[in-house]
Amino acid sequence: MSFGPLFLVSVLAGVVGSVTGLGGGVVLIPFLTAHGVPIKQAIPLSVLSIIVLSTSAASNYVRGHLANLKISTFLEMFAILGALVGATVTVAVQPALLSALCGGAFVIVSGLLWRQHATTWHPSRMPDRFSRTLRLDGSYYDAVERRTVAYHGTHAALSGPLMFATGVIAGLLGIGSGALTVLIQHAVMDLPPKIAVTTSNLIIGATALAGACVYLEAGLFNLELVVPILLGICAGAIAGSALLVHWSNQFIRRLLLVAIMALGAQILLRWMRGA
Amino acid sequence: MKLTKRAIWIGAFDREPFLAAILKTGLVVGVGLLVAGSFWQWQSTGHLQFERPLQGSNILQLLIDACRPASALRWPQRFLHVGISVLILTPYVRILASAWYFGYVERNHRYAMYAGCACLLLTYILLLG
pLDDT tens by residue, B97-111: 999 999 988 889 999
Question: How close A31 gets to chain B, by Cα (Å)?
Answer: 20
Tens of pLDDT, residues A52-67 = 999 999 999 998 889 9
Mean per-residue pLDDT, B101-122: 93
**Residue type at B127 in one-letter notation:** L
pLDDT at B14: 81
Residue B2 belongs to a domain:
no
pLDDT at B91: 93
A204 touching B (Cβ < 8 Å): no
B3 DSSP 8-state letter: P
Q: Which of B93, B100, B103 is nearest to B126 (CA)?
A: B93
Mean per-residue pLDDT, A86-98: 65
**Residue type at A89 in one-letter notation:** V
Q: Is the pLDDT of residue A96 over 80?
A: no
Residues written for chain B: 129
* Spatial separation of the C-alpha atoms in residues A103 and A105, rounded to whole Å: 5
Higher pLDDT, A267 or A171: A267
Q: Is the pLDDT of residue A174 over 70?
A: no
Tell how far CA A10 is from the center of its chain. Answer: 16
Q: Which of A54, A63, A213 sits opposite B128 (nearest CB)?
A: A213
User: Which residue intervals of A142-222 are DSSP H helices?
Assistant: 156-173, 177-183, 193-218
* Residue A146 three-state SS: coil
Domain encompassing residue A81: 3-273
Higher pLDDT, A201 or A213: A201
Mean per-residue pLDDT, B111-125: 93
Contact partners, residue B129, CB within 8 Å, separation at least 6: A213, A216, A217, B56, B57, B58, B61
Helix (H) or strand (E) holding A148: strand A147-152
Q: Which of A94, A100, A91 is nearest to A273 (CA)?
A: A100
Residue B4 belongs to a domain:
no
Residue B114 belongs to a domain:
yes
Q: Is the pLDDT of residue B35 over 80?
A: yes
Given an 8 Å threshold on Cβ–Cβ distance, is A216 in contact with B95? no
User: Which residue intervals of B53-108 are DSSP H helices?
Assistant: 59-67, 75-100
Q: Report the range of poorest mean pLDDT among A25-29, A47-51, A95-99, B22-26.
A: A95-99
Residue B7 belongs to a domain:
no
* Spatial separation of the C-alpha atoms in residues A24 and A33, rounded to whole Å: 14
Question: How close B71 gets to chain A, by Cα (Å)?
Answer: 18
* Spatial separation of the C-alpha atoms in residues B104 and A247, rounded to whole Å: 37
Higher pLDDT, B125 or A78: A78
* Spatial separation of the C-alpha atoms in residues A231 and A229, rounded to whole Å: 6
Start-to-end C-alpha separation, chain B: 55
Arithmetic mean of pLDDT over chain A = 85
Report the residue of B57, B62, B64, B90 to disrupt the A interface, i.e. the one with the largest count of A CBs within 10 Å.
B90
**A42-A105-A33 Cα angle (round to 5):** 15
**Residue A116: how many CB atoms within 10 A of its CB?**
10
A–B CB contacts, 8 A cutoff, strictly below = 140
**Residue A157: how many CB atoms within 10 A of its CB?**
12
Q: How many helices (H) and strands (E) does chain A have?
A: 11, 2
Q: Is the pLDDT of residue A244 over 70?
A: yes
Report the residue of B15, B29, B42, B48 to disrupt the A interface, i.e. the one with the largest count of A CBs within 10 Å.
B48
Q: How many domains would you assign to chain A?
A: 1
**Residue A219: how many CB atoms within 10 A of its CB?**
13
pLDDT confidence tier of residue B12, bands split at 50, 70 and 90: low
**Residue A220: how many CB atoms within 10 A of its CB?**
21
Tens of pLDDT, residues B54-85 = 777 788 888 888 888 777 778 888 899 899 99
Helical pair A193-218 and A3-20, crossing angle rounded to 10 deg: 130
* Residue A140 three-state SS: strand
Given an 8 Å threshold on Cβ–Cβ distance, is B118 in contact with A206? yes
Residue B90 belongs to a domain:
yes
pLDDT at A117: 52
pLDDT at B128: 67
A118 touching B (Cβ < 8 Å): no
pLDDT at A237: 94
Question: How close A23 gets to chain B, by Cα (Å)?
Answer: 15
Domain encompassing residue B80: 14-47+54-126
Residue B67 belongs to a domain:
yes
Residue B73 belongs to a domain:
yes
Contact partners, residue B25, CB within 8 Å, separation at least 6: none
Mean per-residue pLDDT, A236-254: 88
pLDDT confidence tier of residue B11, bands split at 50, 70 and 90: low
Residue B121 belongs to a domain:
yes
Q: Which of A56, A3, A30, A22 is nearest to A223 (CA)?
A: A3
Tens of pLDDT, residues A119-169 = 566 776 678 889 889 999 889 888 888 888 899 999 999 999 999 988 887
Q: Is the pLDDT of residue A25 over 90?
A: no
Q: Is the pLDDT of residue B21 over 80?
A: yes
pLDDT confidence tier of residue A211, bands split at 50, 70 and 90: confident
Which residues from A are below 8 Å from B40, CB to CB?
A: none
Sign of torsion, CA A219 A6 A167 B124?
positive
Mean per-residue pLDDT, A197-208: 91
Bridge-partner residues for A150, per DSSP?
Answer: A139
A210 touching B (Cβ < 8 Å): yes
Q: How many domains would you assign to chain B?
A: 1
The radius of gyration of chain A's CA atoms, rounded to the nearest angstrom, is 18
